[in-house]
């Protein structure tokens, strides 16, 4: 574990916009958290030659008061922190011992004599709140077929027989030529024919002037509204930013090795028609992405997938460490790509304080030896845990080729696994036996009840509420705080006289947390005693009824019911 470098924004302009104005003087769109954007958006001030870490201007020019009505408030940065006597520690998911959960078994997936695979790549894993099942969109066979699977528990995946290609679970015709795709649902879509969105990239043999294809579906199986995009690089993806109600195209570019351009639109299909020339330079690997000590190549940014999680956008940067494709083809082994967490509070600027591989390539003869990739939706919320689905390749040294091809062993034996992380568990604020204090910056809320996610087995957590000047507000004083001892991802914090926080609604206040021997992961003010956060739940999960957490403790109860019924989770 390590604490990352905080507030090191590099030499890219931190407090200035494209026209050189101070970020503090922004007069554009006001976001849910109090951040005000520049009038010109998205920014166009990315230096393609700079290898400095990307600037996150909202961490330097923070709003005077932070609005916290949306979602659990995480400690991945200092956006909410005024004074901190605790130690920030970043955490990594743990891979499931039973991986892979999906591997090549059907004729489509085995794809003989070519390379076998059962991999979403970016694809998607999402909980359908109406059908109450998990759904996966994945590639069967390398550059072969796009297929669909469902699961009741997220571990055992069923391949339904569909009418698109009778007797198979295929959802697109083979003649389209699959390279990659991303599926993102829109549960609130007014037009039911657009409940599911797909960005599809044909493989090189089927690509027309590097065009992509966007389409929509009412059921995730039958696809319509085929819309040709402007020319884009392979492995381009898309995601939805619900905080701003924007569809974002993450476009493969090459301004510093493999990199990414950005464009956004209000409407998915209308945005797909726009020329890629309207996109802006966005992100690439930087100086803090260190070369692999054995391979030695300069890292590149292979892909970004992103999703709304609680009060921020959660991203996964797929970092390419090498070797070159030609070397991998010669060896019959996959290239090394690994997954790194990133966080954004404005949807464009990414903060990456911990550069370790959160989901690494194993680099040995196992199913996820290399070519580790994230999945659209990034993670599902499963009671006390987040489940991160990912793709890995073992390779096949019996299929060595002189150059990259569909038969190269570097792309053989692809499968899908999952890794687990505590809910909100990206970063914790820790205290030892001597204890420590964390004071928030001024915040406003409209809820009534304070909740925390904390693990305090031998110490205690207490909290008080202060006004903007730091004066305790009765009865929410430290002396009245009922200490919490234990381990809970959803814990109701109370004061001795039982008063709720409704009298403070709309007022700027600070929270002061005193902690000994434990870890604090998140806090939030809920509108009721269920502990609902009204934040976003990534790919969803048991008990949730849509994109946001409106149920609180009921999501934990839903998982407990499944456990009692004998479901294997």
> How many other CB atoms sit within 10 Å of the CB of residue 292?
16
pLDDT, tens only, 390-404? 999 999 999 999 877
Using the 3D structure, point to which of 422, 444, 473 is the last residue of a domain.
422
Same domain, 108 and 83: no
Please report, rounded to a whole number, the percentage of residues in the chain having pLDDT higher than 90.
85
pLDDT tier at 27, thresholds 50, 70, 90: very high
* 27, part of any domain: no
Residue 10 has pLDDT above 70, yes or no: no
Using the 3D structure, point to which of 422, 444, 461 is the last residue of a domain.
422
Q: Specify whether the CB–CB gap between 264 and 249 falls below 8 A.
A: yes
CA distance 369 to 514: 44
- E strand spans, 20-164: 66-67, 73-74, 81-84, 87-90, 94-95, 118-128, 133-140, 145-151
Mean pLDDT for the chain?
A: 92
The CATH number that applies at residue 378 is 2.115.10.20
Same domain, 154 and 171: yes
pLDDT tier at 490, thresholds 50, 70, 90: very high
pLDDT, tens only, 66-77? 999 999 999 999
* 450, part of any domain: yes
CA distance 322 to 371: 10
pLDDT tier at 11, thresholds 50, 70, 90: very low
Residue 433 has pLDDT above 90, yes or no: yes
Which residue is it, tokens 């996610």? 453
pLDDT, tens only, 277-315? 678 999 999 999 999 999 999 999 999 999 999 999 999
pLDDT tier at 5, thresholds 50, 70, 90: very low
Mean pLDDT of 159-183: 94
* 543, part of any domain: no
Same domain, 278 and 158: yes
pLDDT tier at 233, thresholds 50, 70, 90: confident
Q: Specify whether the CB–CB gap between 366 and 404 falls below 8 A.
A: no
Q: Convert 219-245 to b/e letters by CB count within 10 Å (16 or more is b).
A: ebbebebebebbebbebbbbbbbbbbe
* 41, part of any domain: no
Which whole-number Å values give the CA distances from 48 to 23, 52, 258, in the listed order? Answer: 21, 10, 12
**What pLDDT is recorded for position 3?**
37
Using the 3D structure, point to which of 407, 422, 437 is the last residue of a domain.
422
pLDDT, tens only, 95-139? 999 999 999 999 999 999 999 999 999 999 999 999 999 999 999
- 3-class DSSP state of 558: helix
pLDDT tier at 207, thresholds 50, 70, 90: low
Residues 6+ apart with CB under 8 A from 388: 93, 359, 374, 375, 378, 379, 418, 419, 420, 421
φ, ψ for residue 279, nearest 5 deg: -75, 165
66-67 and 443-444 strand pairing? parallel
* 12, part of any domain: no
pLDDT tier at 352, thresholds 50, 70, 90: very high
Residues 6+ apart with CB under 8 A from 20: none
pLDDT, tens only, 304-343? 999 999 999 999 999 999 999 999 999 999 999 999 999 9
Same domain, 416 and 474: no
Which whole-number Å values give the CA distances from 265 to 101, 270, 458, in the listed order? Answer: 35, 8, 50
Q: Which domain holds residue 253?
A: 94-422
Q: Can you read off the two tokens belonging to residue 126? A: 């999402």
Residue 563 has pLDDT above 80, yes or no: no
pLDDT tier at 498, thresholds 50, 70, 90: confident
CA distance 548 to 527: 14
Same domain, 445 and 378: no
Q: Can you read off the two tokens belonging to residue 324? A: 């070159």
> How many other CB atoms sit within 10 Å of the CB of residue 205?
9
Same domain, 227 and 99: yes
Burial-class residue 19 by CB neighbours within 10 Å (0-12, 13-18, 19+): exposed
Residues 6+ apart with CB under 8 A from 57: 9, 13, 14, 15, 16, 23, 349
Which whole-number Å values give the CA distances from 324 to 154, 193, 329, 336, in the listed order? Answer: 34, 42, 9, 10
In eight-state DSSP terms, residue 131 is T
* 26, part of any domain: no
CA distance 361 to 340: 12
The CATH number that applies at residue 457 is 2.60.120.260
Please report, rounded to a whole number, the percentage of residues in the chain having pLDDT higher than 70.
93
CA distance 193 to 241: 20
* 48, part of any domain: no
Q: Can you read off the two tokens belonging to residue 228? A: 């040709």
**What pLDDT is recorded for position 369?**
98
pLDDT tier at 272, thresholds 50, 70, 90: confident
Residues 6+ apart with CB under 8 A from 459: 431, 433, 435, 485, 515, 516, 517, 518
* 84, part of any domain: yes
Same domain, 372 and 232: yes
Q: State the total domains in the chain.
A: 2
pLDDT, tens only, 185-203? 999 899 999 999 999 988 8
Q: Can you read off the two tokens belonging to residue 508? A: 């700027």
Q: Can you read off the two tokens belonging to residue 59? A: 């961490």
> How many other CB atoms sit within 10 Å of the CB of residue 485?
14
Same domain, 264 and 203: yes
**What pLDDT is recorded for position 231?**
79
> How many other CB atoms sit within 10 Å of the CB of residue 267?
11
pLDDT tier at 558, thresholds 50, 70, 90: confident
Residue 464 has pLDDT above 90, yes or no: yes
**What pLDDT is recorded for position 206?**
63
CA distance 341 to 327: 28
- 3-class DSSP state of 268: helix
Phi-psi region at 98: left, alpha or beta (left = phi > 0; alpha = psi -120 to 50)? alpha
Same domain, 110 and 218: yes
DSSP for 163-214? SSSTTB-B-S-GGG-EEEEEEEE-TT-SSGGGSEEEEEEE-TTT-STTEEEE
Same domain, 431 and 480: yes
**What pLDDT is recorded for position 568?**
47
CA distance 550 to 544: 7
CA distance 546 to 524: 20
- 3-class DSSP state of 323: coil
CA distance 3 to 494: 30
Residue 167 has pLDDT above 80, yes or no: yes
CA 190 to chain centre: 25
Same domain, 388 and 466: no
Q: Specify whether the CB–CB gap between 366 and 288 falls below 8 A.
A: no
In eight-state DSSP terms, residue 55 is P
pLDDT tier at 16, thresholds 50, 70, 90: low
Q: What angle do CA 295, 300, 303 make, to 5 degrees?
A: 125
Same domain, 447 and 321: no
Closest CA to 341 of 361, 369, 313: 313
**What pLDDT is recorded for position 560?**
65
């Amino acid at each position: 574990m390590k604490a990352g470098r905080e507030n090191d924004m590099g030499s890219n302009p931190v407090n200035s916009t494209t026209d050189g104005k101070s970020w503090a003087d922004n007069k554009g769109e006001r976001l849910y958290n109090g951040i005000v954007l520049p009038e010109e958006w998205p920014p166009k001030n990315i230096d393609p030659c700079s290898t400095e870490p990307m600037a996150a201007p909202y961490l330097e020019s923070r709003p005077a008061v932070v609005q916290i009505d949306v979602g659990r408030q995480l400690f991945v940065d200092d956006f909410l922190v005024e004074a901190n006597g605790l130690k920030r520690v970043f955490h990594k998911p743990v891979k499931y011992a039973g991986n892979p959960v999906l591997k090549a078994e059907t004729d489509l997936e085995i794809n003989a004599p070519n390379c076998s695979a059962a991999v979403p790549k970016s694809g998607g894993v999402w909980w359908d709140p109406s059908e109450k099942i998990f759904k996966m969109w994945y590639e069967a066979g390398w550059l072969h077929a796009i297929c669909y699977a469902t699961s009741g528990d997220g571990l055992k995946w069923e391949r339904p027989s569909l009418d698109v290609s009778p007797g198979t679970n295929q959802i697109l015709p083979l003649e389209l030529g699959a390279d990659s795709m991303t599926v993102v649902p829109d549960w609130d879509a007014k037009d039911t024919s657009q409940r599911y969105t797909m960005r599809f990239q044909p493989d090189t043999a089927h690509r027309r002037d590097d065009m992509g294809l966007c389409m929509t579906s009412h059921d995730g199986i039958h696809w319509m509204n085929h819309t040709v995009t402007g020319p884009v690089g392979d492995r381009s993806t898309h995601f939805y930013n619900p905080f701003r109600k924007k569809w974002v195209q993450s476009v493969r570019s090459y301004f510093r090795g493999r990199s990414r351009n950005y464009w956004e639109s209000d409407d998915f299909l209308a945005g797909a028609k726009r020329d890629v020339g309207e996109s802006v330079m966005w992100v690439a690997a930087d100086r803090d992405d260190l070369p692999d000590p054995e391979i030695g190549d300069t890292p590149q940014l292979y892909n970004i997938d992103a999703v709304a999680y609680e009060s921020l956008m959660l991203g996964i940067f797929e970092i390419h460490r090498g070797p070159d494709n030609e070397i991998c083809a010669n060896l019959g082994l996959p290239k090394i790509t690994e997954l790194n967490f990133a966080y954004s509070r404005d949807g464009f600027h990414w903060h990456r304080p911990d550069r370790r591989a959160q989901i690494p390539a194993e680099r040995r003869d196992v199913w996820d030896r290399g070519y580790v990739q994230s999945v659209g939706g990034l993670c599902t919320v499963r009671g006390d845990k987040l489940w991160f689905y990912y793709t890995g390749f073992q390779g096949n040294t019996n299929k060595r080729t002189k150059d990259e091809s569909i038969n190269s062993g570097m792309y053989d034996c692809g499968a899908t696994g999952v890794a687990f992380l505590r809910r909100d568990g990206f970063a914790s604020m820790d205290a030892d036996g001597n204890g420590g204090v964390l004071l928030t910056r001024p915040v406003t809320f409209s809820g009534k009840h304070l909740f925390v996610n904390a693990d305090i087995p031998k110490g205690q957590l207490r909290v008080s509420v202060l006004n903007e000047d730091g004066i305790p507000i009765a009865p929410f004083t430290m002396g009245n705080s009922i200490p919490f001892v234990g381990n809970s991802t959803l814990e109701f914090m109370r004061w001795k006289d039982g008063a709720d926080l409704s009298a403070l609604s709309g007022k700027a206040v600070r929270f002061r947390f005193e902690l000994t021997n434990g870890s604090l992961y998140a806090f939030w003010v809920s509108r009721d005693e269920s502990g609902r956060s009204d934040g976003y739940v990534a790919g969803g999960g048991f008990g949730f009824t849509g994109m946001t957490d409106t149920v609180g403790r009921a999501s934990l109860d839903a998982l407990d019911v499944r456990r009692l019924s004998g479901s294997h989770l």
